[in-house]
Chain A
């Protein structure tokens, strides 16, 4: 299981990580003012591509349809949206059971507990993802996780949507910057991504940009306006 010591991340996010994936046993913080959920889904899709399981607890609003479009296999995604007061125990079970355990602390997490959870992930060879959307309507402000994460994956601004005009079109795809930094990352990595791309998957920005120059804006198919 921990043979390579890395959880391989397929797709465009994998290129950010040295070694093509996340070092097993590390704590990854996913954040961003907007787009953090899309980033989380893209990360899960990449990490689950080779048959790994994932679990998400404390995140009630996951867009299941968006997750499938992003490439997340729902048959291997365990969701406990309302863990209640026992979220720590739920997180511990998830860390035991799956390769990628996503937690979103509902309240400030005592430092000792956080360290224990991180140690458990290290021992099991899993990856603990702390989801910290900043502000937004989801209501899980950053800073509830007391410890420094090994890796920070963050949506950096400014996002820009394509496809929607004044009274016409639909939201088609969004250009964002993604930044990867952390203790075990040698150099800070950054990339421009379509997150989501026109079909819901994350796409490196240059691919679409080529088509973009050629003509129509990406992701806005003819007749996209449904109904």
Chain B
């Protein structure tokens, strides 16, 4: 997905109200976590101890990190960009992403869209002399974020080449980066040159995902599909909650509830929509994204950030009615991925889940990802389509089982599916082959079944259930009728007849 990223350099510094020309270091836990441009020129870098930083730059201003303030000050930037383009997604205060398609067409090209967004973002940063926001466009969020740092537009399909010279540390997995470093692999390009199967086998799932990013492949394109039944939790406040703390407390409970719903479905949430409504009718809806999935705590934190950023700017009601308060809070999982990808990062996975995930990794390494499968029930009529097998961990792209499928049979479903159809013959009592007319009528009562080299008597039969499948498509369209047959040995079969030929599709074993 073509993505535009907006990056505000040194955001923790800007959020504290400092211009880029002032030597500033933002400190957390005795370590420098962000520096201004002036401090960087003097040799202060992230990760330094306080004393070391002061040694490099005697005039250095040190401030403690304030995450809530970073989020609060970022809100006007998000609002300004969201006014131009919908579906803006906040990765963290200081970095946001949005899908380009559509918007680029509307505004007349990616270049023009980028300029507009950059202008809007720059105007929204109220600190004079602060580092100006920059924008970049590339395929996928990951490449776009790096393109923003360089302020470039990477042409479609070129992301792999663009990423190649970056060091492997940009992949965001320090352990993996260390390991690769020891193997002499220092750039993203060198990592991308390794065969995918070998990376999976040797380093596991998380590394395989990093490898896909390194090759410039988009993070799963299917993710942009919003699940049909959105998972959401909502709570109301009556009387309206006027204090951030009160809402934040409710948000924590909601987050735990949503995380529970997701866990019960084996999903992890990578995009969270937080909607806050106020008593004066004002609303604030934001998308939060995290590649590694949002746990309950991370969700609650995003709500807190959004509250901090939005509440002070919400217009207060007339004095007689008191200030506007929050009346409704809704959390919805916008995008989800199967949770097994997140296992390494999820605290709450059980021992059995972790053990199974390791086993899946090993099997994939042995046989390839296409050999390790998960079962999915899909919409469709023929049994092999309904009982689908997909590579483990891949989101299913098949047709929904929830749709009505006329012509499908009620439970129980056949227990044994013959993916290679087994040819058969069916005769009536007089020994004539049984067929189905163009009007869906049977030409004789099935009496004997020839299957696997022998004849069996038929003691029960049902059908025909006819279905014109894909009749609009001359190539794959077909007209078949289905029957259930029960032999004297009480073996039940699901058969199909098509063009006068009989097949066993499945057995009620």
Binary contact readout B417-429 vs A (1 if CB under 8 angstroms, 0 otherwise): 1110010000000
A89 vs chain B, min Cβ distance (A): 6
Q: Which residue of A lies closest to B351 (CB)?
A: A1
Check B406–A166 contact: CB distance below 8 A: no
Given A51-B350, A227-B465, decide whether A63 and B415 contact each other with a Cβ distance below 8 A. yes
Check A81–B373 contact: CB distance below 8 A: yes
Check A167–B445 contact: CB distance below 8 A: yes
Check B372–A164 contact: CB distance below 8 A: no
Check B417–A77 contact: CB distance below 8 A: no
A69 at the interface (CB under 8 A from B): yes
Partner pick for A61 among B363, B418, B442, CB 8 A cutoff: B418
A86 at the interface (CB under 8 A from B): yes
A209 at the interface (CB under 8 A from B): no
Check B352–A171 contact: CB distance below 8 A: no
Given A64-B388, A199-B412, decide whether A170 and B373 contact each other with a Cβ distance below 8 A. no
Check B413–A65 contact: CB distance below 8 A: yes
Q: Which residue of B lies closest to A225 (CB)?
A: B462
A61 to B489, CA, bound (A): 21
Given A80-B367, A227-B465, decide whether A161 and B509 contact each other with a Cβ distance below 8 A. no
B125 at the interface (CB under 8 A from A): no
A35 to B491, CA, bound (A): 9
Check B371–A38 contact: CB distance below 8 A: no
A135 vs chain B, min Cβ distance (A): 9
A74 vs chain B, min Cβ distance (A): 4
Within 8 A of A (CB), among B32-69: none
Check B387–A97 contact: CB distance below 8 A: no
Chain B residues, Cβ within 8 Å of A99: 352
Partner pick for A37 among B352, B375, B509, CB 8 A cutoff: B509
B363 vs chain A, min Cβ distance (A): 6
Check A69–B411 contact: CB distance below 8 A: yes
Binary contact readout B386-422 vs A (1 if CB under 8 angstroms, 0 otherwise): 1111001000000000000011111111111111001
Chain A residues, Cβ within 8 Å of B416: 37, 61-63, 136-138
B355 at the interface (CB under 8 A from A): yes
The interface-forming segment of B134-142, B212-220, B500-508 is B500-508
Partner pick for B422 among A137, A173, A226, CB 8 A cutoff: A137
Binary contact readout B467-509 vs A (1 if CB under 8 angstroms, 0 otherwise): 1000000000000000010100111100000000000101111
The interface-forming segment of A52-60, A106-114, A141-149, A181-189 is A52-60
A69 to B367, CA, bound (A): 29
B358 at the interface (CB under 8 A from A): yes
B359 at the interface (CB under 8 A from A): yes
Check B490–A159 contact: CB distance below 8 A: yes
A-side interface mostly: mixed
A99 to B358, CA, bound (A): 14
A52 to B363, CA, bound (A): 19
Chain B residues, Cβ within 8 Å of A215: none
Chain B residues, Cβ within 8 Å of A169: 460, 462
Chain A residues, Cβ within 8 Å of B442: 167
A18 at the interface (CB under 8 A from B): no
Given A74-B376, A164-B460, A170-B484, decide whether A136 and B507 contact each other with a Cβ distance below 8 A. yes
B338 vs chain A, min Cβ distance (A): 8
B309 vs chain A, min Cβ distance (A): 37
Q: Which residue of A lies closest to B264 (CB)?
A: A75
Q: Which residue of B lies closest to A159 (CB)?
A: B490
Check A52–B352 contact: CB distance below 8 A: yes
Chain B residues, Cβ within 8 Å of A38: 415, 508-509
A140 vs chain B, min Cβ distance (A): 11
A220 vs chain B, min Cβ distance (A): 9
A152 at the interface (CB under 8 A from B): no
Partner pick for B461 among A66, A167, A199, CB 8 A cutoff: A167
Interface size on B, residues (CB 8 A): 64
Q: Which residue of A lies closest to B447 (CB)?
A: A166
Within 8 A of A (CB), among B354-381: 355-356, 358-360, 362-363, 366-367, 371-377
A67 at the interface (CB under 8 A from B): yes
B315 at the interface (CB under 8 A from A): no
Q: Which residue of A lies closest to B385 (CB)?
A: A65
Check A78–B372 contact: CB distance below 8 A: yes
Chain B residues, Cβ within 8 Å of A159: 490
Check A98–B356 contact: CB distance below 8 A: yes
A172 to B359, CA, bound (A): 38
Check A170–B363 contact: CB distance below 8 A: no
Chain A residues, Cβ within 8 Å of B414: 63, 66
Check A137–B418 contact: CB distance below 8 A: yes
Given A66-B412, A169-B462, A200-B412, decide whether A81 and B490 contact each other with a Cβ distance below 8 A. no
A164 to B484, CA, bound (A): 8
Chain B residues, Cβ within 8 Å of A55: 359
Check A60–B419 contact: CB distance below 8 A: yes
Partner pick for B377 among A52, A68, A83, A226, CB 8 A cutoff: A68
Check B460–A165 contact: CB distance below 8 A: yes
B452 at the interface (CB under 8 A from A): yes
Chain A residues, Cβ within 8 Å of B351: 1
Q: Which residue of A lies closest to B494 (CB)?
A: A171
A51 to B354, CA, bound (A): 12
Which among A66, A138, A170, A196 has the greatest number of chain B C-beta atoms within 10 A? A66
Chain A residues, Cβ within 8 Å of B265: 75
Chain B residues, Cβ within 8 Å of A76: 356
A41 to B451, CA, bound (A): 25
Check A61–B419 contact: CB distance below 8 A: yes
Given A65-B387, A167-B445, decide whether A90 and B366 contact each other with a Cβ distance below 8 A. yes
A222 to B178, CA, bound (A): 66
Chain A residues, Cβ within 8 Å of B451: 137
A171 to B134, CA, bound (A): 66
Q: Which residue of B lies closest to A221 (CB)?
A: B410
Check A34–B359 contact: CB distance below 8 A: no
Chain A residues, Cβ within 8 Å of B508: 38, 161, 171, 174
A105 at the interface (CB under 8 A from B): no
A51 vs chain B, min Cβ distance (A): 6
A13 to B351, CA, bound (A): 26
A157 to B282, CA, bound (A): 70
A123 at the interface (CB under 8 A from B): no
Given A161-B490, A198-B412, decide whether A64 and B376 contact each other with a Cβ distance below 8 A. yes
Check B412–A161 contact: CB distance below 8 A: no
A-B contacts, 12 of them at CB < 8 A, read A61-B418, A62-B416, A64-B386, A66-B413, A67-B387, A79-B375, A79-B389, A89-B366, A97-B355, A133-B509, A169-B460, A226-B407
Apart from the given pairs A168-B462, A227-B465, 8 other A-B contacts in the complex at a CB distance below 8 Å: A63-B413, A77-B375, A80-B371, A161-B492, A164-B492, A165-B460, A171-B508, A200-B411
